[in-house]
Chains A and B, each alone.
Chain A
Amino acid sequence: MNFEKPLPLATPTSQPFWEALTRHEVQIQQCGDCGAWIYYPRAFCSKCLSPELEWKEISGRGTLYSFTIARRPTAPFWADDVPQLIAVVELDEGPRLTSTLCNVEESDIRVGMRLQPLFDDVSDKGVTMLRYEPE
């Protein structure tokens, strides 16, 4: 069977995040009331439920919080993509996000390693995925 990889479908709430990625910028929200940095995009702050969330450009850099090397595809879409280097990245601002690692040898992957964004423009789809590589 042939499976087309699932891509994110932006919502009114998340659109600024995905649009920034197409410009190879990382923008996340900061709460105007409590100052918390928020990821993923929300309509209300996940620390204080304030609706006063402001989009801010950040470097997107962070450290590797954890990872796995999936030897078996996590779903049929990635049957030809094993091993999948699935990562939890902790942004320098604090929030964590899910991504995948690129341009790194398996044996060099370390929890705590510094990472920088790699903007992956998915051809023809108008979508840019936020992947990561060593700094």
Chain B
Amino acid sequence: MGLQGSAAIVGIAELKPEKKPTGPEKFSIEQWAQLARLALLDAGLSHGDVNGLVTSFVMESAMLAPATVAEYLGMEVNYAEYVDLGGATAAGMIWRAASAIELGIADVVVCALPGAMTPQPPGAPPAMDGWLYGASSNAYGSPQAEFEIPYGNIAQNSGYAQIANRYAAEFGYDARALAKIAVDQRTNACANPEALFYGKPLTIDDVLNSPMIADPLHMLEIVMPVSGGAAVVLASREKAAQTPHRPVWLTGFGERLAFKTHTYAADLVRTPIGPASDTAFAMAGLSRQEVDMVSIYDCYTIAVLLAIEDAGFCAKGEGMDFVNSHDLTFEGDFPCNTHGGQLSFGQTGMAGGLSHVTEGARQIMGRAADNQMTRCDTVFVSGNGGIMSEQVALILRGD
């Protein structure tokens, strides 16, 4: 079952995360074109090589996004996919692209996620619903409109805080261990000039002294959305042989989801990344011990802790001890989010999830510069949408 591992990431592009975007704003389709151009340049491939694309929503068209993108880019493709998995969209795009390549319906596929604000029409009032309800739907008939939003159960902070409190009730809670996740990742960011928080070291006390946002989550345990964007080019074995970088093969993946609102999770602290990871490792024929780096979707410190446990890198309930007894930096014994993670690299909108893929590729390609690991052949990537809802696991390997 699953992939043979004959599709590879051969090119990556990533805009430097910025708190306030510099330069003129671009529409989503313009950002898409810019990111595709950069990723293809990186892969040494051209516009005419592309015969597949994977996108998520674009601001300019509520429907038919793949056709909108293909037309704007002037691309005629055999494979056009739309992925809508929240923070797991990026990881979800990668396995879909690799699958299309292995099926033989495309041999060069571009996946791009714009992550910058788009221009507003002159004089128009800013759209309100987006920021009022976030990913929750207030449409008539939406379960969230009736049973969540009126109780204030909106947005991510409150949901992840509820996960953390449930975790505390079942397994205890060491706030310093959670803070250490943010601190180790900041150490990684301090070796990555591209990171938003480059040059700004952090201590556990800094984290614990930052304002409480939703008990028990402190401000510095929560990602800061910023501006950016990223893209990845995947290619078949034949095409990959023509590209300049060490190919990064996708050898396993898993996906799992069952709910939108965490209230209805079967178990709030045994999350869908568990079964998704089991599928991915079985497909790749690898054990957890063979992983050199983990690139875990880190919208919150508690999300990293749960992923480390549920993906099987330590036993359930032992994550806090695991974090305390391991060095999560790029020089450590359990390198995690070597680019700084979204917590310290920056959450570039939907593209933040792609940063976990690009960093895994960068490490395997040996292009990570000051935060390059001594040896990195195998990377575990996770994607996490909603409140630990949509979950995707990927296994990336270099030959």
A residues in contact (CB < 8 Å) with B: 3, 5-11, 14, 40, 65-78, 81, 84, 86, 88, 96-100, 110-112, 129
Contact = CB atoms under 8 A, between A and B. Distances in A.
A111 B166 contact: yes
A72 B214 CA distance: 7
Contacts of A74: 152-155, 157-158, 214
B146 A78 contact: no
Interface in B168-185: 168-169
B141 A69 contact: no
B166 A65 contact: yes
Contact of B150 (A3, A6, A96): A6
Given A66-B162, A66-B169, A88-B268, A11 B152 contact: no
Contacts of A81: 152
> Closest 4 A-B residue pairs measured CB to CB?
A68-B161, A111-B169, A66-B166, A69-B215
B169 A71 contact: no
B132 interface: yes
A70 B263 CA distance: 16
B146 A86 contact: no
Nearest to A112: B169
A78 B134 CA distance: 15
A70 B158 contact: yes
Interface in B157-209: 157-158, 161-166, 168-169
A74 B154 CA distance: 6
Contacts of A67: 162, 165
Contact of B146 (A9, A65, A72, A96): A9
Which range holds the interface residue count of chain B?
A: 35 or more
B151 A11 contact: no
A9 B141 CA distance: 8
B147 A97 contact: yes
A106 B263 CA distance: 21
Given A3-B132, A67-B165, A88-B268, 14 more contacts: A5-B150, A6-B138, A6-B149, A66-B165, A69-B215, A70-B152, A70-B158, A71-B213, A77-B152, A81-B152, A88-B162, A88-B263, A96-B264, A100-B151
B211 interface: yes
Nearest to B140: A9
B149 to A, nearest CB: 5
Contacts of B262: 88
Given A69-B215, A98-B261, A9 B158 contact: no
Nearest to B269: A66
Contacts of B134: 75
Q: Which of A9, A97, A98 has the most CB of B within 10 A?
A: A98
B133 interface: yes
B165 A99 contact: no
B157 A129 contact: no
B65 to A, nearest CB: 27
B212 interface: yes
A129 B148 CA distance: 11
A107 to B, nearest CB: 11
Contacts of A76: 132
A116 to B, nearest CB: 17
B3 interface: no
Contacts of A5: 150
B314 interface: no
A10 B146 CA distance: 7
A19 B238 CA distance: 64
A67 B197 CA distance: 31
A87 B162 CA distance: 8
Contacts of A71: 211-215
Nearest to B138: A6
A78 B154 CA distance: 11
18 contacts: A6-B145, A8-B145, A8-B146, A11-B140, A40-B146, A65-B166, A68-B214, A68-B217, A70-B157, A71-B215, A75-B132, A84-B158, A88-B162, A97-B263, A99-B151, A100-B151, A100-B152, A129-B151
